[in-house]
Amino acid sequence: MFIGTANVLDTIPGPLRDRMEVIQLPGYTSDEKALIARRYLVGRQFAANGLDTARCEISDAALRAIIDDYTREAGVRNLEREIGNVLRHAAMRVAERAPTPIRIETTDLPAILGVARFESEVALRTSMPGVATGLAWTPAGGDILFIEASLVPGNGRLILTGQLGEVMKETAQAALTLVKSHAQRLALAPDLFEKHDIHVHVPAGAIPKDGPSAGVAMFMALASLVTNRPVRADRAMTGEISLRGLVLPVGGIKEKVLAALRAGIDRVMLPVRNRKELEEISPDAREKLHFVWQETVDDVLREALEDTPAVAA
């Protein structure tokens, strides 16, 4: 029997993959990471650094801070590295004959690990019209994806940037067509698209991105832009769109939902045809989230856009 691991299945030759039983391992929630850290990782790093509970303690709050502020990931590999960094610092203090036990609290982390590397940027990013929070699947688990749109004087061009693949470019075209078809409902000026160019950008431009599942987020970014109504900051979305305005099912739902949870988002908008996959998500994760099911883009507009336009600065 041979056991192998891989982040991406596409690089495994077809005949070999056909003879393998594939076991998918999704990412962990913050609660699961905290339990893994307390039960396994801390003890292993105590042994590796010559410490024990009589000489060093690390609080649960400090472990949570490491998970949320320093190691936002699907697994726990970087979490164990950072715990090791913290405990090596404690071991150095023990060697310097500091009073024991040395207790590591949240307030000690900046001096040891530096400033927090992650923060909740969802509310900051989506506070202005033209920005929507999408959910993406990556080989390392799910991730949030910001779609930004801007309107500038021009002659109706659609400009796409951010290392987008062909499928994602076509998805942006479909999203713009859908917004144009909703012009009357959105109370848009008849010549809006003729006199302006629309620029759609997906940040992290050095990372290639592709796939149709950002269709709903692209549609919402464009609808938010042309109506001057921000997308609600507590919502993240995924789903493919059709030119008839249907929201079609996508893959990687479990990973995407866990990514939303890690980012502090409590409302996830999913295609209604993905409802059956809800059972794959752990009960504790489901309890922390509110799921909004989408059948058409009209459902998305009703649930995601703020009721009042943004006030100009």
Q: What are the catalytic residues? A: 213, 256
CA–CA separation, 255 and 235 (whole Å): 16
Which residue is it, tokens 């752990």?
Answer: 282
- Centroid of chain to Cα 244: 28
Closest by CA position to 168, among listed 224, 129, 221: 221
Write out the H or E segment, with its range, that includes residue 224: helix 215-227
65, 82, 93, 252 from 53: Cα distances, Å? 20, 18, 15, 40
Question: Can you spell out the DSSP letters for 130-177?
Answer: TEEEEEEEETTEEEEEEEEEEEEESSS-EEEESSB-HHHHHHHHHHHH
